[in-house]
Amino acid sequence: MNTKPPVLKQLGTQVGIPASPHAAVLERVANPHVDTNYVARFTQPEFTSLCPVTGQPDFAHLVIDYVPDRWLVESKSLKLYFAAFRNHGAFHEDCTVAIGKRLATLLEPRYLRIGGYWFPRGGMPIDVFWQTGELPAGVWVPDQGVAPYRGRG
């Protein structure tokens, strides 16, 4: 087990948007409450990527909930990672699941879920959900708070 604190390379410095999600550097910091089960939530209401076929922009509202173990994601690196998708072509399912898997690999959380609520394309919204781990007993995870798309109905 590596107990040496990670060296943060982006926090407190001016950093450009990564060229791609693969080039983005996600950073982590030690969880100061490793003995406690709690939920951390990140909400990205203005996530954008590109359709891999047409090159047209796609928009989503992402909600990530996780119960950390030893690591927390450093939020500036997460914002830069999200921004790297702006010029990245991938389907909704790929973006959502890839983000969840990358965070799970980095953080090794006790539990992690991501909800990708994508705005309609071709008249049909696509919502994508991915989860890893079991929610620890007694931990409260609120509803993600994103209403299903109803259009004008």
Q: Please list the active-site residues.
A: 51, 58
Reported pTM: 0.91
Q: What is the 3-state secondary structure (H, E, C) of 23-86?
A: CCCCCEEECCCCCCCCCEEEEEEEEEEECCCCCCEEEEEEEEEEECCCEEECHHHHHHHHHCCC
Residue 74 has pLDDT above 80, yes or no: yes
Residue 145 has pLDDT above 60, yes or no: yes
Domains of the chain: 35-110 (3.30.1130.10)
> Considering the chain, what percentage of its residues have pLDDT values greater than 90?
80
Give the pLDDT confidence of 96-134 residue by residue, as tens digits: 999 999 999 999 999 999 999 999 988 888 999 999 999
